[in-house]
Structure 1
Amino acid sequence: MRVGSAIAAILVILGLLRPAAAAEDRYFVTGDGVRLHYLEAGRGRTLVFVPGWTMPAWIWQRQIDEFSRQYRVIAFDPRGQGDSAVAPSGYEPGRRGQDIADLIARLGPEPVLLVGWSLGVLDALAYVHANGDTRIAGLVLVDNSVGEDPPPQPSRHPTKPGPRLPREAMMRNFVRGMFKRPQPQAYLDRLTEACLRTPQPAASALLSYPVPRSYWKEAVYSTDKPVLYVVRPKFAGQADNLAAHHPAAEAVVMKEPGHALFVDEPAHFNAILLDFIRRRIWR
């Protein structure tokens, strides 16, 4: 048994920490009539996790297991992803941010800690840009640009000659490339299948958000709530600038994992997040 697991087991026995709660399926209808899905586990103050491009809510499973011991955990399936409806439209920042607003309104009056990863960073910032920060207790932004300097460098890999790969093969490569730690093949297959549920037109629209980089920077600097920016070294420059210039922000650079860093190194990521919550959000 790992040290963290052993400590958690002792706390459960002593009654100081609840066992992990099983996640239950929930649904709600957005203001434009789309039925969206989320997972809910635990009770108490609320954490809302938003996944990345085409990803399902259950990619946050290790965080659901860990944080549902102490908090109410919500893992969201954005429109066109996971078990949410595939809507004919709404795959742009304004509507995606409003979907988060509709979800938060359903969860009750208390402020939530909003956690976004990859495209979920942009969706969370779109929410803040349009709705302000009155309904959030803090903001956690995981491994995407926030509009700070320096801009992300374009990929250095040249386009390979030859025919374009079928969509399924491309998505399998994309999913595999998110991790540096070996993941079970069954897990990769399940994740690829979930990602392929997002139709190609919607997936393409999500990759071409029609706003300037300044839009995201304006959003993150508009809040005085605590902000945690957790990234890989490729965003270290932005992390340094955000922490230096935003009075409520702090940053952590995780050097070893891949893009899905909370899956590659869940114990490390969870410890970073829990420390932030206890120091800055709900002391």
Structure 2
Amino acid sequence: MRFLLLLVVFCGLAGPGRARDYYFNASDGTRLHYSEVGPKGAPVIVFVPGWTMPGWIFAPQARYFSKQYQVVTFDPRGQGRSQVSDGGYDPVRRGEDIGELLDRLPGRVVVAGWSLGVLDTLAYIHQDGDAKLAGLVLIDNSVGENPPPVWGPYHPGPVLSRDAKMYQFVCGMFETRQSPAYLDRLTQTCLRLPEADAQALLRYPVPREQWKADLLSSDVPVLYVVRPHLEAQAENLQRDRPHTHIAVFPKAGHALFVDEAPRFNALMGHFLKNSVW
């Protein structure tokens, strides 16, 4: 068990319907935030968001799963309500942050990582193994399987301000229409992370083969949910690794758990009941 300097802030009632906000100090002193909702003592699900994103993007899952599970939505460093630190935007530190969060939680947990959160989660497994894990849900990012993702040709567009580029990025994650207020709030939250730190996260200097090796090193049940550009990786992962379940969302955007929340929630709920708990 790591030694943590802990600062905990408790908000609201302890009942399953009210979110509870907590802060703790990571081992490098960075103040990290997570929210928790659902009955105490229930099995725990931890949601880890993608690049620059806040944990509250998983609100549809927090509402759905908190009836039966203890749901934790994590703000990685520099994101959401966590501190913008002077460094640590690399796989090693991000994996350590997840490990230090999991050390605070009871029992074995399911971690659901989305986009960069997939790689953060695999970085945690690379360092700490899977003893704390009951299962994994990996959402719409490459896991180092073959074939590598193929990206279309780059066509530079007009020169935009950082605010405009981030708004464009946020809007591009959804196929279903989101309200202007939602998109504005999400954009402003993503802009908290300074550009240099955001770019450091995009580099993530790890060979893609390591992600595959880290995932294959674990034998916990896995649900891998992707869009069609990663379908071949999903099929290969299912072949190469036992206890792997796959699903493809052909009509959703990158934030597929928002675009098609009912389907995603039902799929993940079935996985939890039949393969994990």
Which interval holds the TM-score relative to the shorter structure?
over 0.9
SS at match of 2:145: coil
The one-letter amino acid paired with 1:126 is A
CA contact (8 A) 1:125 1:220 kept: yes
AA matched with 2:207: P
Q: Which amino acid aligns with 1:256?
A: K
What does 1:1-283 align with in structure 2 at a 5 Å threshold? 21-43=17-39, 44-108=42-106, 110-160=107-157, 162=158, 164-282=159-277
| SS of corresponding position for 1:207 | helix
Deviations 1:46-105 (A, max 9, x none): 000000000001000010000000000000000000000000000000100000000000
Flag structure 1 segments of 5+ consecutive residues without an equivalent. Answer: 1-18
Task: Give distance in 1, aligned partners of 2:26 and 2:45.
Answer: 20
Letter of the 1:212 partner, please give it.
Answer: P
Deviation at 1:151, TM superposition (A): 0.4
Amino acid at match of 2:127: A
Q: Distance in 1 between matches of 2:135 and 2:182?
A: 31
Give the letter for the 1:210 counterpart.
P
Shift in Å at residue 126 of structure 1?
A: 0.4
2: CA distance, partners of 1:118 / 1:266: 16
Using the alignment, how far apart are the partners of 2:99 and 2:226 within structure 1?
25
Identity of paired residues, percent? 53
The answer to whether the Cα contact below 8 Å between 1:20 and 1:65 also exists between their aligned partners in 2 is no
Give 1:269's aligned amino acid.
F
Aligned partner letter, 1:242 = L
If the length of structure 2 is used for normalisation, what is the TM-score?
Answer: 0.92
Once the two structures are TM-superposed, the CA of residue 157 in structure 1 deviates from its matched residue by: 4.0
| Between structures 1 and 2, the one with greater helix share | 1
Q: Distance in 2 between matches of 1:247 and 1:235?
A: 19
Counterpart residue number, 1:11: none
TM-aligned CA deviation for residue 155 of structure 1: 3.1
Indicate the residue corresponding to 2:9 in structure 1.
none
Could you list the per-position Cα deviations for residues 114-143 of structure 1 after superposition, in whole angstroms to 9, with x for gaps in the alignment? Answer: 000000000000001110000000111000
TM-score w.r.t. length of structure 1: 0.90
Q: Deviations over 1:172-221 (max 9, x none)?
A: 00000000000001000000000000111110000000110011001110
For 1:227-269, what per-residue CA distance to the aligned partner results, in whole angstroms no more than 9, with x for missing partners?
1100010100100000111112121111111000000011000
Q: How many residues are treated as equivalent by the alignment?
A: 261
Residue 154 of structure 1 deviates from its aligned partner by 2.0
- Could you tell me which runs of 5 or more consecutive residues in structure 2 were left unpaired when the two chains were aligned: 1-14
Q: Return the letter of the residue paired with 2:100.
A: D
Residue of structure 2 equivalent to 1:5: none
AA of the residue aligned to 1:131: D
